[in-house]
Amino acid sequence: MAQVKFFSGQQFPLEMHKVRIIQKLNLLPIEERLEAIQGAGYNTFLLQNQDVFLDMLTDSGVNAMSQEQQAAMFRADDAYAGSATYTRLHNKLVEIFGMEYFLPAHQGRAAENILSRSLIRPDTFIPMNYHFTTTKQHIVVNGGTVLELIAPEGLEVESEHPFKGNFDVPALRQLIADEGAEKISFVRMEAGTNLIGGQPFSLDNLEEVSAVCREHGIPLVLDASLLADNLYFMKVREERCRDMSIAEITRAMADASDIVYFSARKLGFGRGGGICIREESLYKQMRGLVPMFEGFLTYGGMSVREMEAITVGLDETLDFDMINQGPQFIEYMVRELAKRGVPVITPPGGLGAHVNAMKFLEHVPQQQYPAGALASAIFLASGVRGMERGTMSEQRDPDGVEPLADMELVRLALPRRVFTLSQVNYAVDRIDWLYQRRDLIGGMRWVEEPEILRFFYGRLEPVTDWPTRLMEEFRKDFGDSL
């Protein structure tokens, strides 16, 4: 891991790849951005991509492929059953994770569906470091109860703790003592904890959780969707990992787990997913659900071309120079925002920069969705599309009571290997401006509120006409600039 130093003493991230295919971008004038966000019901998920300048909504399925991935797609073996493409993917997964069995699925949540249906016993708990939206939904629908046992530092917004995704191991021991191991269907560890800012856990922590699980015969399930970022942080932040290769760290993580599932929309720079399983009995328990929900066992709803790309992408995940661009760009963006006083989650994690909307918009009550309002304001000010990760992303309880999220965040994802540093600088500049004008931003309310996963397709409106006032202020400060 050679870090390039600069003569100026100023340190900035340096891409270890070059761009050979481009996509032209569109930056609309602010008047048209206002029309676009109104048309989208102030929900960034409902924007048309052609109205977006920098799409920082997600890192899912939008990471840049390498020339090796693209080349591999040409040799895809189209067969309903027994495709050679499947064998190549399966062999690669066995090589990386050392688990004999693999069930393909069309994306991460499909893997969660299969896992939850087959492993959750009625009235049991599923303890985890932190939930993910689709994971929680699948667990609840199958009669399980999610328990978040994140170590206390995980919910401190500003911190320099290197592993805020760590599991609270004493709390797990306590739970087992209170309820008994049979009340726990499985324990779930999420790499690169998505909803609390892409924060990693340490290898030590995973191994401690694993030891408790093994002592009590509870399966440990690793959600490896954001594994690449977690691997990067283990390598640079955890003493014992410094001299290990990325492949060795990966294998140590898998060795601690019984099941590893992933969204290949993130891990492997492709589009797909699957479940790696160590024990035959668990494999057989889940297998029947794949042909029922996904497709035959040798494609599971994935295109064979994507499977070839994922096989190569998984190999690239073991190359430090191929996984460091995301976390290093995110660190740069977070530090630049923080320098300007913008409240952000620290330390920088994976996935993207996370703006703390609770503090950015102190004057907006949580019931008026500060993170949702800020995501709309950022789009207006810049054409940058981020994602609300706060109360809107939660779901009402059956009695209609709305739980308030632990954090109100706007996530500005940096898809892997996609953006340039000047694009990051542009986003920082516009968010800096917005922060100086934050008093103009107001709250939101629902116009249409779906019952399930409401943040994906619900529609909102501003509680006052603040978006118009913000646009007028933009024109005063920027003249006729885009």
Binding site for ligand PLP (CB under 6 A): 60, 107-109, 132, 134-135, 190, 194, 223, 225-226, 263, 265-266, 273
Catalytic residue among 223, 229, 258, 406: 223
Q: How far apart are CB 60 and ligand PLP at their closest, in Å?
A: 5
**201 is an active site residue:** no
Catalytic residue among 92, 136, 188, 266: 266
Nearer Cβ to ligand PLP (194/210)? 194
Label residue 85 exposed, middle or buried (CB < 10 Å: 0-12, 13-18, 19+). buried
Catalytic residue among 130, 332, 455, 474: 455
Q: How far apart are CB 289 and ligand PLP at their closest, in Å?
A: 16
Catalytic residue among 278, 389, 417, 454: 389
**455 is an active site residue:** yes
Q: How far apart are CB 37 and ligand PLP at their closest, in Å?
A: 24
Structure tokens at 255: 């060795």
**232 is an active site residue:** no
Nearer Cβ to ligand PLP (267/371)? 267
**223 is an active site residue:** yes
Nearer Cβ to ligand PLP (112/308)? 112
Q: How far apart are CB 480 and ligand PLP at their closest, in Å?
A: 40
Nearer Cβ to ligand PLP (190/315)? 190
Instruction: Report the alpha-carbon distance of residue 472 to residue 398 in Å, rounded.
Output: 42
Catalytic residue among 5, 20, 80, 476: 80
Q: Where are the beta strands (DSSP E) in 136-249?
A: 144-148, 187-190, 220-223
Which runs of consecutive H residues, i.e. helices, occur in 51-83? 67-73
Structure tokens at 372: 């949702």
**Distance (Å) of CA 423 to CA 69, 357, 382, 383, 384:** 25, 22, 11, 12, 10
- The CB-nearest residue to ligand PLP is 108
Nearer Cβ to ligand PLP (132/379)? 132
Q: Reduce the DSSP state of residue 128 to 3 states and report it.
A: strand
Q: Where are the beta strands (DSSP E) in 198-334?
A: 220-223, 259-263, 273-277
Q: CB neighbours of 424 closer than 8 A, spacing ≥ 6? A: 329, 332, 333, 336, 414
Q: Reduce the DSSP state of residue 56 to 3 states and report it.
A: coil
Q: Could you tell me if 196 and 155 are in contact, meaning their C-beta atoms sit under 8 angstroms apart?
A: yes
Q: How far apart are CB 333 and ligand PLP at their closest, in Å?
A: 19
Nearer Cβ to ligand PLP (292/401)? 292
- Return the closest-CA partner of residue 160 out of 340, 344, 389: 344
In this structure, the number of other CB atoms found within 10 A of the CB of residue 18 comes to 5
Nearer Cβ to ligand PLP (227/333)? 227
Nearer Cβ to ligand PLP (28/64)? 64
How many Cα atoms within 13 Å fall on the side-chain side of residue 258? 21
**359 is an active site residue:** no
**389 is an active site residue:** yes
Structure tokens at 443: 């709250």
Catalytic residue among 45, 133, 255, 320: 133
Q: How far apart are CB 266 and ligand PLP at their closest, in Å?
A: 6
Instruction: Report the alpha-carbon distance of residue 417 to residue 62 in Å, rounded.
Output: 10
Catalytic residue among 132, 232, 269, 474: 132
Q: How far apart are CB 223 and ligand PLP at their closest, in Å?
A: 5
Q: How far apart are CB 128 and ligand PLP at their closest, in Å?
A: 10
Q: CB neighbours of 461 closer than 8 A, spacing ≥ 6? A: 41, 42, 444, 445, 447
The two beta strands, 187-190 and 220-223, are parallel
The two beta strands, 124-128 and 144-148, are parallel
Nearer Cβ to ligand PLP (223/336)? 223
Q: How far apart are CB 55 and ligand PLP at their closest, in Å?
A: 16
- Return the closest-CA partner of residue 43 out of 57, 29, 22, 25: 57
- Which CB contacts under 8 angstroms, 24+ apart, belong to 166-170? 166/129, 166/201, 166/202, 166/205, 167/128, 167/129, 167/201, 167/205, 167/206, 167/208, 167/209, 169/205, 169/208, 169/209, 169/212
**132 is an active site residue:** yes
Which residues are known to be catalytic?
80, 132-133, 223, 266, 389, 455
